[in-house]
Structure 1
Amino acid sequence: MLPNASHFTINDGTFTEIHSGSVDQSKHYHLYIFGSLQDEIQAGLRPPLDEGTLKELVASVEARIPQEGEAAQTDIQAGQSDEAQGPETPAEPEIIPTVKQLVIYTNTDNANKKLKKATNIVFTLTPPGSPPSGKSWPTIVWKTLQFLPLTMMKKDCAWSDETGISIVREKDNSTIHPDNARIVIKPRHMAVTAQFGLINKSSFSSRFALCVVDRSRPESDRFCPVIDVRDLKEDDLFMCGPPVGLQAYAVPADVKERRLIDTSQYRPLFPKPIDVRTLKAKTTFRLYSHPSGRVVLDKE
């Protein structure tokens, strides 16, 4: 049995954690998030996540829920609780996210490493491994960068190890945006390296996305969708890890941020996805045209 289960519900548009208690199904959205730490799996101390294990765990959690009115709720975003915090229950320390800066540049100092045509680069982020379906991850464009030819340019973007889940909506221009119900999966729930599963225990479905949290954005737009979980119906299961696999593609100018992208239509610029967690605090990439004409993005 997995001991680090967390039972979440959306209440009035914000996620809250239910330590023990029941909630009204007609007014709340129930989403169970369970973690299974990879290092403990490999050591044989914890079973891997699978549908049977998760459903068994959900049943166990539900069996322990007491009568309504006995819940102790914690606002995940505000970090406040309706329980009195005595000397034996100190407030949790603030966890500082790990941020990796990616710098992409072009230059004219080397005739063999000049960018010779206008180029649009997109970055994607995917969880480790393959999705349970065996197909490719339903990927959403994380970042888009435009570069002009035969000039010196530099652009950067930042990745944070804060992973989130959000209900999302798709606008008329096909871009996917976080709605007002979202949660950061914090290390106290599961490690950054964890595989986690989502089970929808509501009587209705909603469209979810796996997100990277960018605290440099306005608060209402900090959740950047990178994987489309799609609609989770009642008792539907979705399993994945954190979005740490960085890949890049040269694409037409009409490919935009926050739109779904069929990555099979483009040549990846890295031989395999780069685990962002292994990069230095600041990593530089040079963009240029190969003599054959193909676009190259070299990590320095």
Structure 2
Amino acid sequence: MESQGVPKEAEAEGDGILKIGDMQLPGRLISDASEEIMLLWAIGQPCTARQNNFVKQTSNHLKLDACGHNLSIQQSPSSMNTSGVTGGVMWDSGIVLGKFLEHAVDCDLLNLRGKKCVELGSGCGLVGCIAALLGGNAILTDMPDRLRLLAKNVEENVRELDARGSASVRELTWGEDLDSDLLNPLPDYVLGSDVVYSEAIVHDLLTTLQGLCGNHTIIFISAELRNDAVLEYFLEFALKNFSVGCVDQGIWHPHYKSRRVVIFIMAKL
């Protein structure tokens, strides 16, 4: 039976099972932004957990075993000296999301084979590369000045003979018109890690998410728990047009969990 006041497309079922769109995963439905922030910070205590647990941002390469491959993701540590530029290095949220996708596929909770996956703010491109290796037809997107590093990592880590799917790189500025190859057909999955980092980008990000999402599209966003005000601002506006849930850490990859990271699942209302 549909819960009162909860859209049919998004229900919190018994035993902590969250239904968003066509997906059912362990988790909780989010209905109030401030309440969710209280849960994440008061109960999760992210500030007491180690930061950058899975990454080394001073290194030129990040090594990671995923999908039966030894991935080598090139980083640009010097880019961290430029204000507002964070996509030249990896963050824990990207590692967590990529390994979550791998684990969910291995556990038959998720099927990316033949599915169109668009990654927003790809940065170094780890998440999109993993999506391709899991069988997705991945389009990795970012700002123009970040495409060179992104394209190099795709070329080095997603080889045609090794990958079940495919990976390509596209320029995308949030809030601007979307190219036809992103829209036709609309994505099955939209992925993003560390894309909620400033109140200034929230409306453009949500505009792009709305443009990319059809009735069947599922969004996975992993966020670093740094600034409660920024994340609350994002959730407050996301809830106006999306069903939003928090994915239970019990189904994350067992070796890639962090109290400093949260994974949201979203679908258009």
When normalised by structure 1's length, the TM-score is 0.24
> Which has the larger Rg?
1
More helix per residue: 2
